């Protein structure tokens, strides 16, 4: 009889272990892993918060003129009309006449071209392609290009076509790309 009771106690103990203790132990292991992951996320969030606070304090130290220059370098929004007017003013400064101007906005920037100087993996920027047809003298156009080159806004000349006539005036067709930051909030 002692053997039967011992065997029953062992069977009940094994069944209790398999049916109750082991599942609870596995759940506990999963919760420990999840807790470690959440603690790591919390640690990273605290680091990011410290970095954000540091950057905000540095931003407050910048003068308004420096902030305006940064905004012009790579603006946070797209304003096609303002951009065309800006280039039109530069052209007028050198006596060039803009015949046509068109824009194309590219937010995904997946063309794989030479504009991969930014962080492509995050795609946190967009490009605007401006196409201009201008007329004027060659020396005026060179001054126009030099002004665009010295302009604070990042600009890449993608294509340029020059056709001329005997009158000394040329027709210039150019495609320019400029960049803007996407609102990732």
Res 9 pLDDT > 50: yes
71 vs 65, residue with greater confidence:
65
The region, left, alpha or beta by phi > 0 then psi within -120 to 50, assigned to residue 95 is left
Q: How confident is the model at residue 40 (pLDDT cuts 50, 70, 90)?
A: very high
Residues 123-137 have pLDDT tens digits of 577 888 889 899 999
Q: pTM of the predicted model, to two decimals?
A: 0.54
Contact 98, 87 (CB under 8 A): yes
Which H or E run contains 164?
A: strand 155-164
pLDDT of residue 185: 46
User: Looking at residue 110, what is its pLDDT?
Assistant: 45
């Amino acid at each position: 009889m002692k053997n039967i009771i011992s065997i029953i106690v062992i069977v009940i103990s094994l069944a209790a272990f398999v049916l109750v203790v082991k599942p609870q132990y596995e759940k506990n292991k999963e919760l420990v892993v999840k807790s470690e992951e959440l603690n790591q996320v919390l640690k990273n969030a605290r680091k990011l918060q410290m970095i954000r606070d540091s950057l905000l304090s540095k931003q407050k130290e910048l003068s308004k003129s420096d902030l305006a220059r940064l905004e012009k370098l790579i603006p946070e929004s797209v304003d096609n009309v303002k951009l065309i007017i800006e280039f039109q003013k530069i052209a007028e400064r050198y006596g060039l006449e803009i015949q046509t101007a068109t824009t194309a906005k590219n937010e995904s920037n997946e063309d794989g071209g030479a504009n991969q100087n930014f962080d492509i993996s995050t795609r946190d920027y967009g490009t605007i392609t401006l196409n201009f047809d201008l007329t004027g003298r060659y020396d005026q156009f060179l001054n126009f290009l030099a002004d665009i080159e010295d302009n604070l806004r990042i600009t890449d000349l993608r294509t340029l076509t020059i056709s001329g006539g005997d009158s000394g005036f040329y027709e210039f067709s150019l495609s320019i790309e400029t960049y803007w930051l996407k609102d990732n909030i």
